[in-house]
A and B are shown apart, each in its own frame.
Chain A
Amino acid sequence: MTALLEVARLSARYGRGAPVLHEVALELGQGEFVTVIGANTAGKSTLLRAISGVGPAVEGSIRFDGRELTAVAPHARPKLGIAHVPEGRHVFPEMSVEENLAIGAHARGGAPGGGAAARLEAIFELFPRLRERRRQFGGTLSGGEQQMLAIGRGLMLEPRLLILDEPSLGLAPMIVEELHDRLVEIHRRGVAILLVEQNVSLALSVASRGYVLQSGSIVLEGPAGELLRDDRVREAYLGI
C-alpha cells in the first residue's frame, strides 16, 4: 500500500530568510494517526503550512496520494481531501457557527445537498456544544468552542487527511482531554490525522507513530509507545 502523505527532502523558508526546515522526510499511511513533536520554533507549524501551501516557500517533494502537491495551487489542495486546522484556530469571527461549518464544505463545491445536512448532524453529535451555539458568531465563542468549531469546519470537507496544529493550545486541561477523545473518535471513523502538539505525552498517547522535529530537522522517529519511553524524549519534552 502506498503512503497517503509522503514528504521527502523538504526544505522551507520565509521570504529571503534562512531555511526553517532542512530536508525533512515524513510518511503517513492511509488512515494512520501520526504526531510531530518538538520545542517551540522547531518548525512544526511551518511543516504543516508547507503541506497546505500557506506561507513558506518550499523545495523538495510533498506527495499526497501519489500526487505532487507542490505543483497544486494552495486553494486547490483541500479538494484533494486535506483539511488543515491551523494554529490559533482562525475561525471566521463574524460568521455564525453554522456559516463557519458550511464554508468548511466550500471545496466540495457549491450546492448544499442532503450530504451536507448529514455531515452537519455528525459534527453536532461529535461536538454538541456547537449545536447549542450554532447561531452565535465565531468570534464570541470560548477558546475551546472555537477549537471544536475549527475542527468541525475541517471535518465538513470529509477529509482523508486532517492536519491539526496545536489544538490544545491555551485550553483548560479538562477540555484538552475531551478534545483528544474526539480526535481518537475521528480517527476511528477512518480519517488519517497529522497532529502537532505541545502536550507531548497526550500526543504520544493518542497517535500510533511520532516524529521529533528539532531546529527544522527530524532527529527521531518511531512508534509512539517507544518514543514515550525514549530517554531523550522524556528528558527534552516530558521533563522527566
Chain B
Amino acid sequence: MQLLQALVDGLLIGGVYGVVSIGLSLVFGVMNIVNFAHAAFLMLGMFVAWFAWAFLGLDPLLGAFLSFVLVFAFGCAVQQVLVRPILAAPQVAQIFLTVGLLIVLENAALMAFGADFRSVQTPYQTSAFRLGGIIVSKPYLYAFAMALLSGAAVWAFLERTAVGRAMRATAQDPMAATLMGIDTQRMHRLAFGVGVGLTAFGGAVILPYLTVSPTVGSHYVVLMFTAVVLGGLGSVAGAVVGGIAVGVIQSVSALVFPIQLQNLVLFVVFILVLALRPDGIVRRRGA
C-alpha cells in the first residue's frame, strides 16, 4: 500500500517534472544549445502566478496562462538578443551565456522580490480524494492534469500545425528548412519562447503545493536534466516519460532512504544513464 501510494505521488509529481523539462529538450532539439537557465524561467512563471494570485485574486491554475504568455514573450526576446549571437559560437561560450543568464535572472529576482518564500492559499490546498486506501492530493492532481494538458497542447502544435512542422524541419535540417522558405530564426525564437513559456506554466500550476523564492529553480535543475537525459535529449515525449520516471524514483526511494538522500539516488540514476544509455531510454523522434 505504501508503495502504491509512493507510485501515485511519484506519477503526479513526475508528470509536472516532465512537462517543465520539455522546453529544455525542445530548445536543444531545435537549436542545439543546452539552456542552463531553463529552471530560472520556471521561477519567473511561479512569480507571475504568485503576483496574479496576490493582486488579481487569480488561482495559480489560471494564472498559469498569464505566466505562459509573459514568459513566452520574454523568452522570444532573450533568444533574439542574447542566444542568437552565440548559436555559432563555441560550446564554452554558450555555456557561459546560459549559466550567466541563470545567475542574472536569480539575482534580479532577489533584488526585485526579496529572498522571502511566498505561497498562495487555495480552497483545495489541503484536500484530497481517497481511492481505497490511496490518497490523491488535489493540488498534485490538478497540477498534473494542467501540466499534461499543456504538454499535449505543445505536442499537438508540433505535430499537427504548419508552424510546428516548420519547427521540426528546422530541428532536423536547418539548411533544407531555409530552402523550403522557412525563417529558421523565427523558429528559434518561437521554440525558445514556447519552451520557457511551458516551464513557466508548469511552475505556476505547482504553486498551490510549493513556495516560490528566487532560487527555487536550483531545486529543479537536477530533476530537469535527469528527466531529459532519461528521455533522450531532444525528444518531447521522452522528456515527459523521463520526468515521470524521475518523480517515481524520487518518491519510491524516499521509502527506503532518508529524505536527504533523495537527490543522491537521482544522481546515481543520472550517471548510470549517461554511462549506459547516453541517448536516453526512449528512442529520439521528431523535435
Which of A4-12, A72-80, A193-201, A221-229 contacts the other chain? A72-80
Q: Which secondary structure dominates chain B's binding surface? A: helix
How far does the Cβ of A15 sit from chain B's closest Cβ, in whole Å? Answer: 11
Q: Are B165 and A99 in contact (CB under 8 A)?
A: yes
Q: Are A103 and B184 in contact (CB under 8 A)?
A: no
Q: Are B172 and A106 in contact (CB under 8 A)?
A: no
Please, which residues of chain B bring their CB within 8 A of the CB of A127? none
Per-residue CB proximity of A129-155 to B under 8 Å, as 1/0? 000000000000000000000000100
Also in contact, A103 and B166, with CB within 8 A (given A75-B183, A92-B172, A92-B173): yes
Partner of B165 from the list A53, A54, A102 (CB cut-off 8 Å) is: A102
Asked if B169 CB lies within 8 Å of chain A CBs, one says: yes
Asked if B3 CB lies within 8 Å of chain A CBs, one says: no
Partner of B181 from the list A75, A86, A90 (CB cut-off 8 Å) is: A75
Please, which residues of chain B bring their CB within 8 A of the CB of A102? 165
Asked if A104 CB lies within 8 Å of chain B CBs, one says: yes
Partner of A75 from the list B168, B184, B285 (CB cut-off 8 Å) is: B184
Q: Are A52 and B179 in contact (CB under 8 A)?
A: yes
Q: Are A84 and B179 in contact (CB under 8 A)?
A: yes
Q: Are B166 and A106 in contact (CB under 8 A)?
A: yes
Please measure, in the bound complex, the distance between the C-alpha atom of A107 and the C-alpha atom of B172, giving whole angstroms: 18
How far does the Cβ of A112 sit from chain B's closest Cβ, in whole Å? Answer: 8
Interface centre among A53, A79, A92 (most CB of B within 10 A): A92
CB nearest to B162 among chain A residues? A110
Partner of B175 from the list A79, A90, A94, A106 (CB cut-off 8 Å) is: A90
How far does the Cβ of B208 sit from chain A's closest Cβ, in whole Å? Answer: 38
Also in contact, A94 and B182, with CB within 8 A (given A86-B176, A99-B165, A103-B166): no
Please measure, in the bound complex, the distance between the C-alpha atom of A55 and the C-alpha atom of B168, giving whole angstroms: 21
Q: Are B172 and A86 in contact (CB under 8 A)?
A: no
Please, which residues of chain A bring their CB within 8 A of the CB of B178? 52-54, 74-75
Asked if A128 CB lies within 8 Å of chain B CBs, one says: no
Asked if A95 CB lies within 8 Å of chain B CBs, one says: yes
Please measure, in the bound complex, the distance between the C-alpha atom of A116 and the C-alpha atom of B202, giving whole angstroms: 38
Q: Are A94 and B285 in contact (CB under 8 A)?
A: yes
Q: Are B175 and A103 in contact (CB under 8 A)?
A: no
Per-residue CB proximity of A86-97 to B under 8 Å, as 1/0? 100011111100
CB nearest to A74 among chain B residues? B178
Please measure, in the bound complex, the distance between the C-alpha atom of A90 and the C-alpha atom of B174, giving whole angstroms: 10
Asked if B278 CB lies within 8 Å of chain A CBs, one says: no
Q: Are A95 and B169 in contact (CB under 8 A)?
A: yes
How far does the Cβ of B233 sit from chain A's closest Cβ, in whole Å? Answer: 15
Please, which residues of chain A bring their CB within 8 A of the CB of B165? 95, 99, 102-103
Q: Are B172 and A93 in contact (CB under 8 A)?
A: yes
Please, which residues of chain A bring their CB within 8 A of the CB of B169? 92, 95, 103, 106
CB nearest to B166 among chain A residues? A106
Q: Are A54 and B175 in contact (CB under 8 A)?
A: yes
Q: Are B173 and A90 in contact (CB under 8 A)?
A: yes
Please measure, in the bound complex, the distance between the C-alpha atom of A107 and the C-alpha atom of B181, giving whole angstroms: 5
CB nearest to A139 among chain B residues? B172
Interface centre among B165, B175, B182, B285 (most CB of A within 10 A): B175
Per-residue CB proximity of A60-76 to B under 8 Å, as 1/0? 00000000000001111
Residues 75 to 132 of chain B near chain A (Cβ within 8 Å): none
How far does the Cβ of B185 sit from chain A's closest Cβ, in whole Å? Answer: 9
Q: Are A90 and B184 in contact (CB under 8 A)?
A: no
How far does the Cβ of A153 sit from chain B's closest Cβ, in whole Å? Answer: 8
How far does the Cβ of B47 sit from chain A's closest Cβ, in whole Å? Answer: 36
Please measure, in the bound complex, the distance between the C-alpha atom of A75 and the C-alpha atom of B166, giving whole angstroms: 12
Partner of B172 from the list A53, A73, A95, A153 (CB cut-off 8 Å) is: A95
Please, which residues of chain B bring their CB within 8 A of the CB of A107? 180-181
Please, which residues of chain A bring their CB within 8 A of the CB of B286? 94
Please, which residues of chain B bring their CB within 8 A of the CB of A106? 162, 166, 169, 180-182
Please, which residues of chain B bring their CB within 8 A of the CB of A103? 165-166, 169, 180, 182
Please, which residues of chain A bring their CB within 8 A of the CB of B184? 75
CB nearest to B173 among chain A residues? A90
Task: Identify 23 residue pairs between A and B in the complex whose beta-carbon atoms are under 8 Å apart, listed by A's number.
Answer: A52-B178, A52-B179, A54-B175, A75-B184, A76-B181, A77-B181, A78-B179, A86-B179, A90-B173, A91-B176, A92-B168, A93-B172, A94-B285, A95-B165, A102-B165, A103-B165, A103-B180, A103-B182, A106-B180, A106-B181, A106-B182, A153-B180, A157-B181
**Using a CB–CB distance below 8 Å, which chain A residues touch chain B?**
52-55, 73-79, 83-84, 86, 90-95, 99, 102-104, 106-107, 110, 153, 157
Top-7 shortest CB links A-B: A107-B181, A78-B181, A90-B176, A75-B183, A92-B172, A106-B180, A84-B179
**Using a CB–CB distance below 8 Å, which chain B residues touch chain A?**
162, 165-166, 168-169, 172-173, 175-176, 178-184, 285-286
